[in-house]
Amino acid sequence: MERNVTLDFIRGVAILGILLLNINAFGLPKAAYLNPAWYGGITLRDAWTWAVLDVTAQVKFLTLFAILFGAGLQMLLGRGKRWIQSRLTLLVLLGFIHGLLFWDGDILLAYGLIGLVSWRMIRDAQSLKTLFNTGVMLYLTGIAVLLLLGFISGSEPNRAWIPDVSSLQYEAWWKTHGGFEAVSNRADMLSNSLLALGAQYGWQLAGLMLLGAALMRSGWLKGQFSLRHYRKTGVLLVLVGLLINIPGVVAQWLLGWEYRWCAFILQAPRELSAPLQTVGYASLIFGFWPQLVRFRLVNAVACVGRMALSNYLLQTLICTTLFYHLGLFMKFDRLQLLGIVPLIWTVNIIFSVFWLRYFRQGPLEWLWRQLTARAAGVSLPHTSR
């Protein structure tokens, strides 16, 4: 099957964009991911860095990746039940290992588990309209649960929102020392993530996968609409998304990132805007692709997208080495951490371009495909990696 270079580029943008937020999860305590005032106060530089990222990137690139994941499930339907189930089960296993032994911010486990449920809904959807509407309903259900959690939660912040000094010292200790203590803490976080997935986030993730499958089935993610359509749609969706997201950011700032509102209720505007902005970003890429494809960097980022799994785990390897083994954890603020991101992007790009000169797939993509074939009992053609 001939690759869609535009989709590879969009996937590469998603993988690189995810690091804009993940760098905070690597370099700062867990509480800092959603709460910019995690240390009980905040500098103006931290506040502005958080605000700009929240408007442009927070949730957006994870949403984009989830939509593309759902599009991939739609494309895999022809492979059959055994192939899809084997592939997703292996992803679950990889995500479990990644989350337990390397980094507590893993997304692979969640994508694999929800994918095992979502692919059947994609397969059994009787029409494109049904598939799309079900995706919207599931996503909105997740947001409704988020709001419900906000209304029933207490107003006093917990240690996960504003950790005390001893909690920060302990988190820094186990992350930098590793060993059984680190595995034990990551196991606890993994358990909490699975509970959140079942109670709330899983609804949204399933909805996004179904929306991605619908966009692929309609031909929209294959670039089958006019350039004018993509450009107009992209501008409209991004603007509408910003109009929904920005008031929520302003409200959080004015409330001083108060726990009950900002940990739950005021997350909703961002979650509502994310699919709109995300599809808007993709639409603009399709609309201006004839101009974008002329740049060598665009083709290099498409190589990153072809090796999305390998590059995602490479980011973990680089960041855990920098922050947990070389003593850089909690040494930088948000803006300084952003300064590290282009360096890691450069490694991702150089690695991908160099590797794909000699092989057809990334190393982990090749291994995943080979193990899937074995598990599904399918023989693969003898071709060069």
Q: Which domain holds residue 38?
A: 5-375
Instruction: Say if residues 120 and 203 touch (Cβ distance below 8 Å).
Output: no
Structural domain includes residue 382? no
The most distant pair of C-alpha atoms in the chain lies apart, rounded to whole Å, by: 61
Intra-chain end-to-end CA distance of the chain, in Å: 15
Q: Total domain count for the chain?
A: 1
Q: Annotate 211-277 with DSSP letters as a single string.
A: HHHHHHHTTGGGT-S-HHHHHHHHHHHHHHHHHHHHHHHHHHHHTTS-HHHHHTGGGHHHHHHHHHH
The pLDDT score that the predictor gives to residue 155 is: 67
**Which pLDDT band, with edges at 50, 70 and 90, does 44 fall under?**
very high
Rounded-to-integer distance, Cα 27 and Cα 248, Å: 25
**Which pLDDT band, with edges at 50, 70 and 90, does 159 fall under?**
confident
User: How many other C-beta atoms are found inside a 10 Å radius of the C-beta of residue 158?
Assistant: 12
Of 131, 59, 69, the closest CA to residue 277 belongs to 59
Mean of pLDDT values over 42-62: 95
Mean of pLDDT values over 260-277: 94
Strand, helix or coil for residue 168: helix
Rounded-to-integer distance, Cα 189 and Cα 179, Å: 16
Structural domain includes residue 62? yes
Structural domain includes residue 380? no
pLDDT at 313 over 70: yes
DSSP state, residue 104: T
Structural domain includes residue 384? no
Where do we find the tokens 């997304």?
107
Structural domain includes residue 381? no
The pLDDT score that the predictor gives to residue 385 is: 55
The pLDDT score that the predictor gives to residue 382 is: 60
Tens of pLDDT, residue by residue over 89-143, are: 999 999 999 999 999 999 999 999 999 999 999 999 999 999 999 999 999 999 9
Percent of the chain with pLDDT over 90: 89
Structural domain includes residue 213? yes
Cα separations in angstroms, 190 against 44, 95, 116: 33, 10, 19
**Average pLDDT over the chain, rounded to an integer:** 94
pLDDT at 41 over 90: no
**Which pLDDT band, with edges at 50, 70 and 90, does 39 fall under?**
confident
Cα separations in angstroms, 95 against 98, 248, 273, 309: 5, 32, 27, 11
The pLDDT score that the predictor gives to residue 67 is: 98
Structural domain includes residue 246? yes
Structural domain includes residue 42? yes
pLDDT at 6 over 90: yes
Tens of pLDDT, residue by residue over 315-359, are: 999 999 999 999 999 999 999 999 999 999 999 999 999 999 999
